[in-house]
Each structure stands twice: as C-alpha cells, then as structure tokens.
Amino acid sequence: MDRLARRILAVVILFVLVVAGVLVARTQDVQRETVGPQPSSADLSIKEVDLQEQYAGGTSWQLTADQGAVFDRERRTTLRNIQVRVQDRERTWTIVGEEGDYFQDTRDVELRRNVVLTSDDGLRLETSVLRWKGAERRLWTDAPVRLYQDGTVVDGSGLDVSMADEATTIQGRVRATFTGERGR
C-alpha cells in the first residue's frame, strides 16, 4: 500500500510539473500590448512647436506643429500636423502636412503625407512630399504634383521652384486641363 501511495504521489507531481511547464511556455508566447504612447528615442519631446524667422526685404515664415521630437545627435526635429505660413511683400502661402522634419543646421524643411500649399492669389498645390532647401531658396519634390488655379489643373511627376530665379518647373509628363472657370 505504501508503494501505491508513492506512485500516485509521483504521478500527481509529474502531472503538476507538466501543467506548470505548459502554462509558462504559453505565457511567454503571448505578445504584450503596450498601453499609452510608444517610447521614443528623442532627446526632447515638445507639444505645440512654433518657429519663426524674418528676413531682410520683408519675407518671413512661421512653422507651427502639434508635436515635435528633437534628436540632438542628428540635429533634426520630427514634426506632426504641421503648418508653415510664408509671407512675402506681395503674397502669402500656407503649407500643411501630416508629418515632417526640420533640419536644425541647414534650416531645411521636409513635409510629408497629404501636403497642400495654398496661396492668397488662388494657387493650390497637392503632393505627398514637399521640401525646402534654405541655402538654395528652392522648393521641390520628386513626388507627383497637382496644381489648381483659375480653372486650370496641371499634373506632373515633380516640381522645382527656384525663388532666386522666380522660376517654376513642373517635371515629367505634364498634363494640363483648362476649364475656363475663374476662381476669383
């Protein structure tokens, strides 16, 4: 009888160890879902970014964003929900995008995702990426673009605007549609 009790006890202990092993193995396979914002490797997180610059000759710009993350080593700030307002002596432009980067050393800006530029003279430009190269005073993209103004729609595969030369080039196969309707 004593032998039977030991065997039963050994079987019960073995069963408990197997069940415990299975439970431990399954809990390690379960993917954990994090609650809250993802950790960032940014050196500084900013809410409500506001950058402004004024140039000789009356040109100024203001960049606002809902959020920013500063990466000191890269000298770059990532931005979310961006609006850039550029004011010249003659015109005003507003550019919006869902995300982008501000490069601190060069003061270059890149906007991405649903980028829309509008001007006070009725011009509207839509693209997925738009870049500003400060040293060259150049606005450009290699993504498809669509421009609207006064009943005209122009599609191209890229855009290059040289502010110094006051020249705009729409790249690739260009398609223009003229409806004859005036916007203003």
Q: How far apart are CA 80 and CA 124, in angstroms?
A: 21
- Find all residues with CB under 8 Å of 58, minimum gap 6, and list them: 88, 89
| pLDDT, tens digit, 9 for 90 and up, residues 158-181 | 999 888 888 889 999 999 898 866
| CA 150 – CA 90 distance, rounded (Å) | 19
- Tell me which CATH code domain 44-178 carries: 2.60.450.10
Q: What is the pLDDT of residue 34?
A: 45
pLDDT digits (tens, 9 = 90+) for 63-108: 899 999 999 999 999 999 999 998 888 889 899 999 999 998 988 8
Assess contact for 100 and 120: CB atoms under 8 A.
Answer: no
As a whole number, mean pLDDT of residues 150-158 equals: 92
